[in-house]
Each structure stands twice: as C-alpha cells, then as structure tokens.
Amino acid sequence: MTTALARALLLCATGLALALTPGAAAASARASLPAIEREVMCVTCKIPLEVAQSPQADRERAFISTLIAAGDDEAQIKRALVAQYGPSALALPSTHGFDLAAYLVPLAALLAVLTLLAVLLPRWRRAGAPRARAGPAEVQAAAPLSPEDAARVAADLSRFD
C-alpha cells in the first residue's frame, strides 16, 4: 500500500517536472503553419490565408515558415505579420476602435433578445391563460355549423360507415 502510494507520488512529481521544463513548454507553444494560416489573411486577396492561392499568399507562407524555423511562437509571428503587413493581416478583428463592434454587437443583440423575451413571455402567458381555461366546448359553441354544413358532414360520415 505504502509502496503504491510512493510510486504514484513519484510518477506525479516526474510528470510535473517534465511539464515545467522549458523544452516541454516550448514544444507545447510551438507554432505550426496550418494553425496560423487559419488565423491570418492574404493581404492582397483579402481571404483567409489557408484558402488563398496566389503569389502573395505563398510569400506570406514563406515568411511565416521562416519565423517558425527561427523558433517564434504564434503570438510573435502574428505580431511580426502585423508589423510587416499592417493589422489587416489578422483574420480576427482587433479589440479596439470600430473593430470592437464585432464583439460588442452580438453581445448587445443577445441581451436585447433576452430582455424582449423576459418582457414578452409573461405577457403571452397571461394572454393565453383565459383561452386555455375556456376549453374546446366554448370554441365549438362560438362557431356552430349551419344546417347545410351539418347535413354535408352527416352525409360524408355515413359513406364511411
């Protein structure tokens, strides 16, 4: 029992030590071309780099590959792309200026819809309650069949007997 516990503790300690070594950290943060291609734009074609097929897209890929080879992580590569091509190199809108609207408007829309539902749902429920209480008999009484319709229905039903 004590040996098993000691082994488990040793295993945990080894795992923790491996996770905290700089090599392991670097390996986990290592950038890859396909991952970055999904998050940046071809600046001349104005479409995501991962689907762009143009000489400029190939140049951007070469630029990114050079930075990956130099050991830069994703954040550093994105900063380098912005420094060279400007903010339009990033696929996601920035978090300042007008671009902020891209994040705030959906949130505001969601809040507005929730507020509307909070106001309208109780009202709809209140309006629906008397009708539910009235039941189908009242509906039938409100719209009686004319003698002609009643005769036609009776004739139709008799054909099925």
Partner 1 sequence: MRSRALGTLVALCGAGLIALLVYGVSALSPSRTLDQALASGQRPLAPDARVELPVLGGGGLQALSAHRGEVVVLNFWASWCPPCEEEAPLLERAQPSLARNRATVLGITYKDTTTDSQAFTRRYRLSYPILRDSTGAFAHAYGTDKLPETFLIDRSGRVVAISRGEVGSAFVDRAIALARGT
Return phi, psi of residue 87, to 5°. Answer: -65, -20
Choose the stretch contacting partner 1; rule: CB under 8 A; options: 1-9, 30-38, 85-93, 124-132: 85-93
At a CB cut-off of 8 Å and minimum separation 6, what does 24 contact? 18
Torsion angle in degrees (nearest 10) through CA of 147, 152, 155, 157? -100
Over the window 17 to 56, marking each residue x when it contacts partner 1 by CB under 8 A and - when it does not, the resulting string is: --------------------------xx----------xx
Strand partners of residue 42: 47
Over the window 109 to 128, marking each residue x when it contacts partner 1 by CB under 8 A and - when it does not, the resulting string is: ---x---x--x---------
- Closest contact distance (angstroms) between CB of 84 and partner 1 is 4
DSSP E strands, the chain: 41-42, 47-48
Ramachandran bin of 97, using left for φ above 0, alpha for ψ from -120 to 50, beta for the remaining angles: left
Question: Strand pairing of 41-42 and 47-48?
Answer: antiparallel
Q: Is 101 in the site for partner 1 (CB under 8 A)?
A: yes
- Interface pick for partner 1 out of 7, 38, 59, 131 (rule CB under 8 A): 59
* 15/87 with CB nearer partner 1: 87
Task: Using CB under 8 A, list all residues that contact partner 1.
Answer: 43-44, 55-56, 59, 63, 83-88, 98, 101, 105, 112, 116, 119
